[in-house]
Structure 1
């Protein structure tokens, strides 16, 4: 009995995981999460930009072994939605244009030699590497751009404060090292891309400042009202007191 090509295709399984627990150092995990969350927040209003990380990307239909799983990646021109895995043939053949790998002792050789070859073959325009501990890469942060099928180093810049900065043309963002800490920056506003935790902390600090300002305002207004009886005893008129304290005449008259 003949078996159709469609029936054969349905038998192919593309796993969503390798079944192994994700074992990462604190630093690797933290920067992986920061990269995905900060970039997701930055591109949140663009419905055709997909940001993810540590997700299986299948790039050849019919071959489950043709797979990569970058730490952080960005794909332009595809729908922003949740995925269990990414299959290029279901995404108009779009693959990541930006990849960031967080290098560690166990991934150094793969990140340095094997992945650049694979990513270049797949047409990944920019490939960045970051070493949180500074132990495994000659340069703790480096970026490469694809030119004629091969990666060429992206220019690094030292800012006035000595901070190392590399511009990503694909993202339109700078990747900078502040005392060894990787952060994305918007070069137009010079503002750092915050993680959700940093955004929440900033919100809480802003709310606290607002409350303190409101309390100070109420205290100042009360001090004005407390001055009304004293000025009244000094013989000032309602209008004079209202002018002196910058209060409505009606409010001052209530004390007379």
Structure 2
């Protein structure tokens, strides 16, 4: 007689982190945070857009080795809730639509090779690379668009004399790099740039200060009008007194 013994299945672990630093240096970290936070603010009214950075994407169920961690990625058509990792089979097989890598000479081979191949395999529609320290990428900002399984360069233009601009059809935004090498997203409909966290706080403080100054001016003007009205009332009263004294 053959006895069948069902051995307990070992649960597959999908780690949330690898213990490595989020970015190699201040420049990489600064722009990683900028891209993630500014895009989250821009799309904050949409509950069907998920934006993350330096988060593991697992793209093959049962194989924790099938993983990639873009510096910033955007997925349309899934909820915007925070996640510890992104497992495509739990997301209706939705993969990122947009990826931005903050690249450098030390990550060049991975960003240009393995990751590029994985993103094409996953169907990432647009793959952007930005080299903040001007290590090797010329120009510092480059965009690729997926067509029939292969990536082709997205044309760049020069605006305002020296600003490199590339339009992302996927995001509906322009990516600009100025002569100082600073990356910013711009809304082409308004011409306004998406602010970094500190820029947003500074703009908020300036707005609050302007509001306080306007309220103070309004209060001063109201007080001046009240004082003028009191003086006029006093003059009218004095005039009536004088008229009463006239025979």
Whether these two folds match at TM > 0.5 is yes
The residue aligned with 1:217 is 218
Say if 2:120 and 2:149, in contact at 8 Å, map to a contact too. yes
| Deviation per residue, 1:17-70 (Å, 9 max, x gap) | 113344520010010011111111111111111100101100001111000000
| Deviation per residue, 1:112-159 (Å, 9 max, x gap) | 222212211111110000011112211100100001111000011112
| Deviation per residue, 1:156-206 (Å, 9 max, x gap) | 111234321101011111111133111111111111112333222211111
For structure 1, the 5+ residue unaligned runs are 239-256
The residue aligned with 1:57 is 57
Shift of 1:225: 4.3
Say if 1:54 and 1:72, in contact at 8 Å, map to a contact too. yes
Say if 1:103 and 1:136, in contact at 8 Å, map to a contact too. no
RMSD: 2.1
Shift of 1:2: 4.4
The residue aligned with 1:181 is 182
For structure 2, the 5+ residue unaligned runs are 238-247
Say if 1:145 and 1:151, in contact at 8 Å, map to a contact too. yes
The residue aligned with 1:196 is 197
The secondary structure found in structure 2 opposite 1:210 is helix
Q: Give matches, 1:146-185, under 5 Å.
A: 146-178=146-178, 179-185=180-186
Question: Using the alignment, how far apart are the partners of 1:89 and 1:107 within structure 2?
Answer: 28
The residue aligned with 1:248 is none
Question: Using the alignment, how far apart are the partners of 1:40 and 1:181 within structure 2?
Answer: 19
Q: TM-score, normalised by structure 2?
A: 0.86
The residue aligned with 2:242 is none
The secondary structure found in structure 1 opposite 2:105 is coil
Q: TM-score, normalised by structure 1?
A: 0.84
Question: Using the alignment, how far apart are the partners of 2:121 and 2:89 within structure 1?
Answer: 16
Count of residue pairs the alignment pairs up: 233
